[in-house]
Amino acid sequence: MSNWTLKLPGSEHKLTTEELKTWARAGKIAGDSIVVDANGEQWNAKQIPGVFSNRDWLVALVLSVIVGTLGVDRFYLGKIGTGILKLITFGALGVWTIIDIILIAIKKLDDKEGLKLA
């Protein structure tokens, strides 16, 4: 478990990787938040494995808008089961598609591992 220094405006916090993950889930930090490792090297929080998803928020949003009715956005997020269900119901005739677009746009839909999209 690595130790990090999270630099926020006006404060610094010493956190473990697990604590960074918890802060990301709670929306306290964004993917571009500055984090410093023990060697003094600066990183964006989204570059630390396990804190944010490898999947991109903008890609998920574009997929949801363009081909969300076919479940492609769900497949991209690793949610294969709901992707298939969305595909065979044509996004529940568009209703599910609209809901997913909204959830992705307001950053409330996570990936399969429960990680926030960066």
Q: What is the pLDDT along the chain (118 residues), one digit of tens a residue?
A: 578 999 988 999 999 999 999 999 998 999 999 999 988 999 999 999 999 999 999 999 999 999 999 999 999 999 999 999 999 999 999 999 999 999 999 999 999 999 999 8
Does residue 33 lie within any of the structural domains?
yes
Closest CA to 35 of 21, 56, 25: 21
Does residue 116 lie within any of the structural domains?
no
Does residue 114 lie within any of the structural domains?
no
Full residue range of the structural domain in which residue 77 is found? 57-105
Does residue 89 lie within any of the structural domains?
yes
What is the distance between the alpha carbons of residues 3 and 16, in angstroms, rounded to a whole number?
4
Does residue 117 lie within any of the structural domains?
no
Does residue 112 lie within any of the structural domains?
no
Model pTM above 0.75? yes
